[in-house]
Amino acid sequence: MAVKKLQGMSLEEFLAWEAQQDVRYELVDCQAVMMAGGSQAHSLIAANIVSALRGMLRGSPCRPGGSDLRIPIPTTGNSRYPDATIDCGEYRPDALDASEPAIVFEVLSRTTGWYDQTRKLRDYDSIPSVRQYVCVSQDEVRVSCWLRDERGNLVQQDDTTDPAGEILLSGFVSSLQVSSIYEGTGLV
């Protein structure tokens, strides 16, 4: 992640500034951070997730979103662009933000894995509507999930490493097949 030399920005200032930029940034600890591009594996896994979610959510009030859908983090003032999101709030065609993110997905790389499972986890944990956070490795079959517990905290569950396994989606009757997440990657 390349840090732009803009420090001390509020979320409101960042959103106004970001609207004028040609490339995408996240707001992290009051600093605009340029988003790096992903690998082919990263892109394919994210596309597989959004594609699988589209069919699963058809007919429900929820929608899948890709990496263009922003999630502002009011408690930290950060702004995130997860790789995929299930958004269950009001559909607003011109909105750049998820209305009510219910499940957030991040595809991990060697350089971002720790960050996604610590700093981003903290941010998503602070949003009460997020019922589940899902991190997907791009280097091996490994899906890590955090579920919201009765005290309101996202709590890590056992990793799923079985290609024939499934990821139960909190609040939904459907599950996401691990094989569909990794389809075409050569890992299953």
Tens of pLDDT along 146-163? Answer: 999 999 999 999 999 999
Q: Does the pLDDT value for residue 187 go beyond 90?
A: yes
Is residue 93 within 8 Å of residue 100, measured between CB atoms? no
Convert the pLDDT of each residue in 98-116 to its tens digit. Answer: 999 999 999 998 877 888 8
Structure tokens at 148: 């919201």
Rounded to whole angstroms, how far apart are CA atoms 50 and 63? 9
Q: What's the CATH superfamily of 38-181?
A: tt1808, chain A (3.90.1570.10)
In the chain, where the domains are located:
1-36, 38-181
Q: What is the pLDDT of residues 33-84, one digit of tens each?
A: 766 657 899 999 999 999 999 999 999 999 999 999 999 998 888 889 999 9
Distance between first and last Cα of the chain: 30
In angstroms, the CA 67 to CA 64 distance is: 10
Q: Specify the amino acid at residue 22.
A: D
DSSP 8-state code for residue 177: E
The predicted model scores a pTM of 0.83
